[in-house]
Chain A
Amino acid sequence: MANTKNTLIADRYSDALVDLAKEGKLTFDKIGTDLTLIKNILEQSPDLNEILSNPLTSVENKKEIIEKVFTNEIDALIINFLKVLVDKNRFFVFSDILDSFNVALDDINNISRIRVTSAVEMTDESRNKLKNKLEEKLKKNVILDLNINSNIIAGLVIEMGDNVIDMSLKHKLEDLSKNIIR
């Protein structure tokens, strides 16, 4: 679970990026693509992430590194955004900003990302049936994040943000056990 304080900070910076798109200076897709690219580069180079997040590294050095690494890949406005994070010593929340921006983007695009866990791989038919059902209920475009976990025995576990709908046989057996003991 993300640190609440970091999430709040990230939300503020994410809102700034959303405003940037709303003002027409950049598209939501471009912002999302650039942020994802930066995230991938940082994941591939933990040292780069460490230098940019380390408060002992000077701000000037950090800005110089950002210029050299991202200039040809990333829009200038996003590079300036990264420099603002360095100035404010908030680069360590970059990953949270991306998550927050994606949530905001999904909200703007009326998209709901739902994590679904099954004991075996779902058939295309079941996947579509579930997707349609959820879209019908939520009145949103649904993107399923499918996972397999044999521990649930059978059935489905559906996670929508903080809400969990456990319809697995494992959960039903646990309920049954609790009722018998009572």
Chain B
Amino acid sequence: MGNLLPTIYHIWNVFVTSNLFNFVVFIAIFAWIFKKFDLKGMLTGLQKKVSDLIEAAKREKAEATQELKKAETAVANLETELTVIVKEAQKSAEFISDKILKEAAAQIESIESNAVKVIDAEEKLLVSTLSKSASKASIAVAKSHIEKVLAETPTLQEKYINESIDELDRLNF
């Protein structure tokens, strides 16, 4: 028995100071923590969550793929539709343009025609007015001249009187 104790002590000492011991203690603590905080459950939940996220990502990817296909189809038709739209727009623009040009031309022609008529009428009126004014002025000048000549040549009065008397021969009464 006397030798046993030192041996046990020695063994204990070796055991305690060895890494194995530390390892055992570490495992014991780890086991305790594992048990205490249900790390397994946590890991399982985390694993499930990650798994769900992966599933969701897959679904989204599938949906995105489908959307992409739709978009690709739409884009593929877009050029054709765009061409049709542009052609129709061009036709419409040409039609409107032609219509506007024709209407504008007709309007310009009408304005020109009216302007010509107005100018023509104004010209005639002006010519008439000028003719009347010139005529009146001419007659006034002629009258003044005749009166002056008659005043300077009294025998002319007698001449005109005799001409008037002679003119009676041409008249029937």
A→B interface (CB under 8 Å): 118-120, 122-123, 126, 129-130, 133-134, 137-138, 153-156, 158, 160, 163, 165, 167-169, 173, 176-177, 180-181
Contact = CB atoms under 8 A, between A and B. Distances in A.
B1 interface: no
Given A133-B165, A176-B139, A123 B158 contact: yes
A22 B168 CA distance: 36
Contacts of B54: none
Contact of B173 (A137, A154, A173): A137
B171 A165 contact: yes
Interface of B: 131-132, 135-136, 138-139, 142-143, 146-147, 150, 154, 156-158, 160-165, 167-169, 171, 173
A153 B162 contact: no
Which 7 A/B pairs are nearest by Cβ-Cβ distance?
A156-B164, A154-B160, A167-B164, A180-B135, A177-B139, A155-B160, A155-B164
Contact of A173 (B143, B163, B165, B171): B143
Contacts of B154: 120
B147 A177 contact: no
Given A122-B161, A155-B163, A180 B131 contact: yes
A167 to B, nearest CB: 4
Given A154-B156, A177-B136, A138 B165 contact: no
A118 B157 CA distance: 9
Contacts, number: 69
A134 to B, nearest CB: 7
Contact of B135 (A129, A153, A177): A177
Q: Is the interface of B mostly helix, strand, loop or mixed?
A: helix
B135 A155 contact: no
Contacts of B162: 126, 129
A173 B56 CA distance: 119
A126 B160 CA distance: 11
A126 B161 contact: yes
Most buried by B among A133, A165, A177: A177
B41 to A, nearest CB: 127
Instruction: Specify which of B139, B162, B164 lies most central, judged by the most chain A CB atoms within 10 Å of its CB.
Output: B164
A181 B167 contact: no
A18 to B, nearest CB: 26
A55 B162 CA distance: 53
Given A120-B157, A154-B150, A177-B135, A138 B173 contact: yes
